[in-house]
């Protein structure tokens, strides 16, 4: 029984990581066009240390590594992203 619960948890977690139909992937060329036209918000989901070492200029830091719930201090950033009228591109590497 414990093995079934662990397998279910693993599959559930993996399903959360799969690309959503509502969040399409774009090519690097498409990203470059959006950046050149200044028609995109860029979100860096890496940890703060990685962000400080180097990031895409203008990227918003929203570190998600290892988190299972939104920390309260993310509320303003999340609201800004939800209100965005332009596409949002996230990256983690």
* % of residues, the chain, pLDDT over 70: 76
Q: How confident is the model at residue 24 (pLDDT cuts 50, 70, 90)?
A: confident
Residue 20 is predicted with a pLDDT of 55
Residue 45 is predicted with a pLDDT of 92
Q: Range of 64's domain? A: 26-91
Return the higher-pLDDT residue of 10 and 32. 32
Task: State how far the Cα of 60 lies from the Cα of 51, in Å rounded to an integer.
Answer: 9
Residue 71 is predicted with a pLDDT of 86
User: What's the CATH number where 42 sits?
Assistant: 3.40.250.10
pLDDT at 10 over 80: no
Q: Which long-range contacts (CB under 8 A, 24 or more apart) does 77-84 make?
A: 81/41, 81/43, 84/41
In-domain check, residue 4: no
In-domain check, residue 70: yes
* % of residues, the chain, pLDDT over 90: 44
In-domain check, residue 63: yes
Per the structure, the count of domains in the chain is: 1
């Amino acid at each position: 029984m414990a093995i079934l619960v662990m397998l279910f948890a693993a599959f559930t977690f993996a399903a959360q990581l799969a690309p959503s139909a509502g969040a399409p992937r774009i090519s690097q060329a498409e990203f470059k066009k959006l950046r050149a036209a200044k028609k995109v918000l860029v979100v860096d989901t890496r940890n703060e240390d990685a962000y400080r070492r180097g990031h895409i200029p203008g990227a918003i830091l929203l570190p998600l590594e290892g988190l299972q719930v939104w920390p309260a201090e993310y509320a303003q950033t999340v609201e800004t992203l939800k209100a965005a009228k332009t596409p949002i591109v996230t990256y983690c590497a």
